[in-house]
Homo-oligomer: A and B are copies of this chain.
Amino acid sequence: MMEKPFRIGLLGLGVVGTAVAHALVQKRGVLERRIGCPIELRRALVRDPDRSRPIDPSLITLNADDILDDPAIDVVVEVMGGEDPAHAYILRALRAGKHVVTANKEVMAKHGPEILTLAAEHGVDISFEASVGGGIPVIGPFKLDLIANEIREIRAIINGTTNFILTRMAADGIEFADALAEAQQLGYAEADPRNDVDGIDAAYKLAILGSLAFHTVVRPSNVYYEGIASLSATDFRYARELGYAIKLLAIARAERGAVELRVHPTLLPETEMLAKIDGVFNAVAVEGDLVGRILFYGRGAGAGPTSSAVVADIIDVAQRSLAGLGGSSRRTAPTYDEQVRFRPMDEVCTRYYLRLLAHDRPGVFAQITHALGEAGISLASVIQKQNVELGEPRVQYAEIVLMTHEAKEAAMQRALRSVRALAVVRDIGSMIRVEG
């Protein structure tokens, strides 16, 4: 074993940082055997100096400079989360010739290509396996194992918070607000849940996966996203009757010369593997021209799984560094050299589930189908469901559920405007895209 230790600076000592520090300390012997040299947790940046920590207090600092300016530190491990100051710290570490391991999906989604370029310029590694799917290997497989494939499609459940909420809504028929409150109580959702619930977190992760899968620069702005807050218990009931689950799906698809990337609630046939992914679990399904369909499944968040990926990245960087190999290997430096056209959401084709409330009287249904047909939307099936009495004086309404044939998003949006404008339609309860 070589004598010079590989020295680690930790930015952030929250839930993930603590788990990483714990693993580095507790598993030190076995990790050193794997790497082939001693490892040393040299310093950890915290915000609050008063909280008790799992590591030697002399290693704690409140000043990032103590890590970023320490020439003895070989790798900076960023587990603070959020865009700033994490982004700035990562850039500084790379410019100082330090390798970087990060779990930061926001930074990698927004600035990944520039960060990779900077790392290559400075001959250092940037690894980010933990940024998508927690401990499930997904970045590694895209960078290496699937590299011989032309990737046709990614379909993924990559936000555990929303999948927990949707699973609760499906299982117990409760409404979104109640499921969210439960997720917050269990620590699966944050006090301000918008990043998860609105689909932003999943969109960041899809941008990262899309970049790797299609070897091109995907920006968060290339990803359409829509959250789950408007889903209602009613839709889960209808979906089940129709043989579907409702999932927040992140979809990236290369088809007819363009790539589409989108995150939105999706009706999925319950026979599909992805429809069976419940609770806080994540799953990433990939279709490649050689490999066919494969799927990766596991816990996509949490201290243990995330630290599993972060520590693996640290070991990888340490081994490569020990072998005298900097940022030159493609193992950690994916290529973004393909030119692709991004298909705008308007041009995306899917089927649609539609639930609306209309006056319950003869001729109403004909008006609706006519409005849809004018916009180019044809119906695959119709379920006219229960009657509802609303308003004062009471008016009889019928709740109508429709499934369309495949249509372009622009046409569907046009159709929705026409239908909403009909005097006989009181409300469009929901429009959910259908896959599979």
Does B312 lie within 8 Å of A146, measured CB to CB?
A: yes
* Interchain CB contact (< 8 A) of A137 among B146, B328, B330, B335: B146
* Interchain CB contact (< 8 A) of A33 among B289, B295, B297, B335: B335
Closest to A129 in B: B145
A134 to B293, CA, bound (A): 12
**In this assembly, does A72 line the interface, its C-beta being within 8 Å of a C-beta of chain B?**
no
Does B23 lie within 8 Å of A148, measured CB to CB?
A: yes
Does B147 lie within 8 Å of A34, measured CB to CB?
A: yes
Does A148 lie within 8 Å of B291, measured CB to CB?
A: no
Does A288 lie within 8 Å of B308, measured CB to CB?
A: yes
**In this assembly, does A141 line the interface, its C-beta being within 8 Å of a C-beta of chain B?**
yes
**In this assembly, does A323 line the interface, its C-beta being within 8 Å of a C-beta of chain B?**
yes
A319 to B144, CA, bound (A): 11
Given A34-B147, A273-B276, A295 contacting B297 (CB threshold 8 A): yes
A286 to B147, CA, bound (A): 23
Most buried by B among A294, A309, A319: A294
A115 to B292, CA, bound (A): 30
Given A299-B291, A312-B147, A329 contacting B320 (CB threshold 8 A): yes
Which residues from chain B contact A144 at a C-beta distance below 8 Å? 140, 312, 315-316
Closest to A137 in B: B145
**In this assembly, does A366 line the interface, its C-beta being within 8 Å of a C-beta of chain B?**
no
**In this assembly, does A304 line the interface, its C-beta being within 8 Å of a C-beta of chain B?**
yes
A19 to B158, CA, bound (A): 33
Most buried by B among A145, A146, A331: A145
Which residues from chain B contact A290 at a C-beta distance below 8 Å? 19, 23, 135, 304-305, 307-308, 311
Does A294 lie within 8 Å of B136, measured CB to CB?
A: yes
A31 to B273, CA, bound (A): 31
Closest to A294 in B: B298
Which 9 A-B pairs give the minimum distances between C-beta atoms? A294-B298, A148-B311, A135-B291, A137-B145, A290-B308, A291-B308, A295-B297, A137-B141, A290-B304
Given A137-B145, A292-B304, 20 new contacts (CB under 8 A): A23-B148, A23-B290, A135-B291, A136-B294, A137-B294, A140-B141, A146-B312, A148-B308, A148-B311, A148-B315, A289-B304, A290-B304, A290-B307, A291-B305, A292-B299, A295-B297, A297-B297, A319-B331, A320-B329, A323-B329
A sample of 7 cross-chain residue pairs with beta-carbon separation below 8 angstroms, ordered by A number, consists of: A23-B148, A27-B150, A34-B147, A35-B330, A148-B312, A296-B297, A325-B325
